[in-house]
Amino acid sequence: MASAQPGALVRSLALRRPELLPPVLVLAGAVALVLSMRVVNPRFGSPEQIAAILVTSIFLVVAAFGQGLAILLGGIDLSIGVVMSIGGMMITGLTRGSNDALLWAAPATLLCCAAIGVLNGVGIALLQIPPFITTLAVGTVSFGVALGLTAGSSQQSVAPALQELMSGKFHGLPYPILMTLCFLVLATVVQGQTAEGRKLYALGSSPAAARIVGLPIASLTIAAYAVSALCAGGSGLLLAGYSSSATLDMGDPFLMPTIAAVVIGGARVTGGRGSYLGTFAGAIFLSTLATVITALSLSQGWRNVIQGGIILAALILQSNRWRSWKR
Amino acid sequence: MLPVRLGFVGEEGEAEEGGRRSLPSSGATLAALLCLVMYGVYVLKEPSAFSAIGLANLLDNTVVLALAAIGLTLVILSAELDLSSVGVIAITNSIVATVSTRYPGGVLLSLALACLVGLAVGVVNGTLVTYLGLQSLACTLGTMIACQGIALLILSAPGGEVAEPIMNGLTGSVLGVVPVAGVILILGAVAWSLFRRTRLGIALYAVGTDEVAARLSGIEGGRTKAFAFAAAGVIYGLAGFMLSAETGTGDPRVSGSFLLYVFASVAIGGTSLAGGRGGVLGSLAGACILTVMQKMLFALGVAEFYTNIFNGLIMIAAILIGRLAPALARWSARRAAPGSSALAAGGADRG
Amino acid sequence: MILTSRAMVLAWICGALAAQPTFAQEKRAKVYLNMTYSGNTWQAAAANGIKALAATPPYDKQIEFSTVISGTEVQKQISDLQSMIAAGAKAIIMYPLSPTALNRVVKQGCDKGVLMFTYDSTVTEPCAYNVSNITARYGANTAQWIVNQLGGKGQIIFNHGVAGTSVTKTYDEQAYHIFKKYPGIKIVGDFFGNWNDATSQEEVSRILAAHPDVDGIWTVDGTYGSLQAVMKNRPERLVVIAGQSNNGYRLLLADPAMQAKGLRGISSSAGPAVGGYGFKVMMELLLKKTKLTAHNIEYPLPWVEGKDVKICEGESFVGGCNAFPESKAPALFIDTALDGTHLPELTLAAVQSGTPAPGATIQPLPPVKYAENLPGVNCQKCKQPADWLEPNMVTPIPVPK
């Protein structure tokens, strides 16, 4: 029977490579969304639109990696929105519309953002303050400092090279799509295949066991949150390049989606489970969902109801209990 | 027979040593103390605040946050998270603003609807988490977004009208002396003190501390968590009802920063975000801290540049001070009876 | 007992903090600026304009001016307003988070004799003074302008502002009313740009990919981002567009190369200068230099087309100039933060930093224009004019057959 085949495929995948199941399901969900929209509007899902979706997903793709690391440790990073904005504001303020300063401004910006992450890590690992409060407080303080120093918006444009990066094409393929693919490979390897990544999984699954085994918990935690802030800063750089300048609230719309992308991708909020492939699939799914919802042309109320409903559906379809019922 | 003495502590942490109760050294108490200190500073700089009107205003500003924090505490104690409070508040606020003046008996009708809507959302959350096994952070994020949408469908822009009895009644005072908001908070505290000694209350702590051990003692985790979500939903509905009374109007928008304040209230009050420890009294103190902090910073003339910075630093300081509670308990226990220190330290550590 | 002694230490520290020396203050009126949203170009420019004016002679010697940022939670704004009133404010100019939720505290202020002013966003409490151009029919005027430019036929992308606000509801209703009159006008995509340029750019590029023949874009803000999306994805054919007054946007409108590719736009929308204007009106009322017969004041709607753009040579809007060269101001800088007619004291540096230009003094205001009623927006028990959905700055073209 035709309908049994996808079921059998899912089952065999679940048995042999269970960690690939959530990303596959979620990406399948994204494809399903696009296909269902094509019924309504045949021009939906054209290569140009898919390209547009992929280009605009890069910010979420990069920032969600950092959130994924925090959640992998059983924590959360609520400062991502603020750090993104700070990254964008810094690179814009340092480059001031010309490429001269870009070479040192970009690393300086990223370093500064990573420092905010170190603050998060220190608060969580050394002061033992819950990640929710630490990242919230550090984010609030950072926002306050940045607001006082800049009054809220950049006074210049960002370096033209950065703008070119976000709008240019390499043999017809937009640079952001290429960067997304490279980042996908890099991040999957770093999280899943390197020794440090495996240590993070161990720490997230069982802090007690990690302590017994002698893992350097404090430095791992600090490193994870530093990388999270680094990614947020990098995403902010890209966003500044995309929109040519920066404001201090430009990162805010991205915080909740990073959390949603990570958990839709199959990560456990208690830590220890989840792969970047899942986060990536979650980010793509959310971008596609946003495009579909826009295309439906409904009032904002209905858009939110549908968005919430589909997120719940995505979670239900990948939950263990649902899959066990389907068998 | 419910085995109460399985070591599921985590209540407001009174340390008992050989029958003699030492002073409560819990996170909740320290939070309440910090709140009083901050209030003291505020009154020192702004003497007019220490008046009936000043106190009434303060309580009115706190009550919505406090109610939401009470609801969230129940869920967090059971080791789950709940982001849907702001969604429920938006819906109930919109309902009260559209229903309370339009129909006869609108006041009671809108109150009933507020509780029903909160209950419905709570039941949905509870079902998704306990019977479909979804993670609470993700699923309540989804319900919050959906609730945001429903609120916009009920009320497309701020407006509507809240009936006079609600608006003036709930912001007035009982017997002309005690503000209604204060009465509500006291009722909440009393209700909690009674509840946490019931089977269900103890079950909540048990499930939050160690779900497996709880099941082995005959406590059903799923039902307890479902109850927590449902009760939280009803309380959020009441919070939205109070918001309508405080503002006299409806607003369909959901405030992201309010959600973070609710979580901050709970955490500052000493409740562990991992479950099993803390309680509602601490969350009430936490909500008070956040409200008084704003007044205190204004009275101290803290320049706008520093407001955000102080907000963040005080949140961290409050947690650190609350962390002193177990350390203090251990310290005082060791001072009191060096011989039995190990036993007392171990027991008080959980509180 | 360690507990009480620790508490005592805490109390002592706080007491030391609290016991600051108080300087002898002259009898200056306490005036507050109450901000809510922060961290974006518009709000920063509006606040800086107000701060610069407050520090300009003679106001700098007449008032004791402070700024309070309440954040985006309405109960916090209520709490801060109560604090300001209790601290003895004589006048408060605020950006209200809700047209109705603050009415009670605003009334408390009025009852104590405090002048309660709002800028851009309004409240429905009758004793408050609202200074805004929300009654200037932006939605109807810009929609009609787009229709006229397109000859009554074409595909439109609709960029909503933040949902659930009265300004979005008002402008959307007006714009849709106009677009519906012309059967040749089709709205092929609409999204909620939330007044954000990055979001608008992302969304327009996605919609453009599915509807490559779009002719026009209607926005309230996020205009520059919306236009960027077209310039990057369909540079050979640009659009008819209505929206904000970002400097980069105005420069593009005036650029003959862009016009040759079909760019036609109207630069309008709410300008940050409304804050400074509201502040000056409030100050004139406070210092008894003027009397107001009504409480709702309309700030004129900016209205600049490509041909009207005039580049300034100096630092302020003099001689009718209304934009800055690219080297002087960033693309997102909102030109309507300056106002040559009502706020000649403000310069580019003043709205970017909040410090007044050296040598500037406060100039008198021209007579105010009072606003029409918009129930639920600036008044409670009132009726709006019968034609509130119709344009009053643009003459409609007839519907094409």
Q: All domains of chain B, ordered by start, with CATH? A: 2-350 (1.10.3470)
Lowest mean pLDDT among B8-12, B323-327, C22-26: B8-12
Question: Which of C217, C205, C196 has its CA nearest to residue A53?
Answer: C205
C331 vs A contacts (CB less than 8 Å): 157, 244-245
pTM over 0.80: yes
- Is A244 an interface residue toward C (CB < 8 Å)? yes
First to last CA, chain B: 24
Q: What is the least distance, in Å, from the CA of A211 to any CA of chain C?
A: 32
Residue C269, both tokens: 């929308």
Residue of A nearest to C228 (CA): A243
pLDDT band at A4 (very low <50, low <70, confident <90, very high): low
A49 vs C contacts (CB less than 8 Å): 206, 209-210
- Is C292 an interface residue toward A (CB < 8 Å)? no
Answer yes or no: is A93 within a domain.
yes
Residue A275, both tokens: 């792969």
**What is the model's pLDDT at position A156?**
76
Mean pLDDT within B301-306? 78
DSSP structure class, residue C346:
-
Answer yes or no: is A88 within a domain.
yes
pLDDT band at B12 (very low <50, low <70, confident <90, very high): very low
Closest CB from B57, B261, B328 relative to C82: B57
C185-192 and C216-219 strand pairing: unpaired
* Contact call for C212 and A143, based on CB within 8 A: no
On average, the pLDDT of chain B sits at 84
Closest CB from A151, A242, A291 relative to C354: A151
Into how many domains does chain A fold?
1
**What is the model's pLDDT at position C6?**
53
In chain C (401 residues long), the average pLDDT of successive 10-residue segments reads: 49 50 64 90 92 93 93 92 93 95 94 96 95 95 96 95 91 96 94 91 90 95 94 93 95 95 95 96 92 94 94 91 90 92 92 90 92 91 92 91 77
C63-69 and B178-179 strand pairing: unpaired
Please, what sign has the CA dihedral across residues C105, C109, C110, C114?
negative
CA atoms within 13 A on the CB side of B304: 22
* Tens of pLDDT, residues B127-182: 999 988 888 888 999 999 999 999 999 998 898 889 888 888 888 877 777 889 99
Residue C158's DSSP bridge partners are: C190, C218
Give whole-number Cα distances, C103 to A85, B106, C26, C253, C378, in Å: 34, 22, 32, 41, 11
Mean pLDDT within A25-36? 87
Segment of A36-50, A206-220, B291-305, C170-184 carrying the highest mean pLDDT? C170-184
pLDDT band at B105 (very low <50, low <70, confident <90, very high): confident
At residue B282, φ and ψ (nearest 5 deg) are: -65, -40
Answer yes or no: is A32 within a domain.
no
Closest CB from A147, A245, A294 relative to C330: A245
pLDDT at B5 over 90: no
pLDDT band at B338 (very low <50, low <70, confident <90, very high): low
A97 vs C contacts (CB less than 8 Å): 330
Asked if residues C113 and C85 have their Cβ atoms less than 8 Å apart, the reply is no
**What is the model's pLDDT at position A304?**
92
First to last CA, chain A: 15
Q: B with C: how many residue pairs have Cβ under 8 Å apart?
A: 131
Q: What is the least distance, in Å, from the CA of B87 to any CA of chain A?
A: 11
Answer yes or no: is A9 within a domain.
no
Rounded to the nearest angstrom, the gap between the alpha carbon of residue A168 and the centroid of all alpha carbons in its chain is 23
* Tens of pLDDT, residues A109-133: 999 999 999 999 999 999 888 898 8
Q: What is the CATH number of the domain that holds A256?
A: 1.10.3470
A204 vs B contacts (CB less than 8 Å): none
Residue corresponding to tokens 């009207």: C308
* Tens of pLDDT, residues B167-200: 888 888 777 778 899 999 999 999 999 999 999 9
* Contact call for B41 and C86, based on CB within 8 A: no
First to last CA, chain C: 90
CB within 8 Å of chain B, chain C residues 159-218: 163-166, 168-169
**What is the model's pLDDT at position B7?**
40
- Percent of chain B whose pLDDT exceeds 70: 88
**A229 is in which domain, residue-wise?**
45-316
C165 vs B contacts (CB less than 8 Å): 157-158, 253
**What is the model's pLDDT at position B71?**
97
CA dihedral B135, B136, B139, B140 (to 10 degrees): -170
Answer yes or no: is A279 within a domain.
yes
Complex ipTM over 0.95: no
Asked if residues C230 and C171 have their Cβ atoms less than 8 Å apart, the reply is no
Number of neighbours of residue A182 by Cβ within 10 angstroms: 10
C330 vs A contacts (CB less than 8 Å): 97, 154-157, 245
Q: How far apart are CA A326 and CA B12, in angstroms?
A: 44
A239 vs C contacts (CB less than 8 Å): 198
On average, the pLDDT of chain A sits at 87
Asked if residues C164 and B149 have their Cβ atoms less than 8 Å apart, the reply is no
Segment of A64-73, A170-179, A247-256, B207-216 carrying the highest mean pLDDT? A64-73
Q: What is the least distance, in Å, from the CA of B168 to any CA of chain A?
A: 31
> Would you call B106 helix, strand, or coil by DSSP?
helix
- Is A85 an interface residue toward C (CB < 8 Å)? yes
Closest CB from B132, B139, B319 relative to A133: B319
* Farthest CA pair distance, chain C: 90
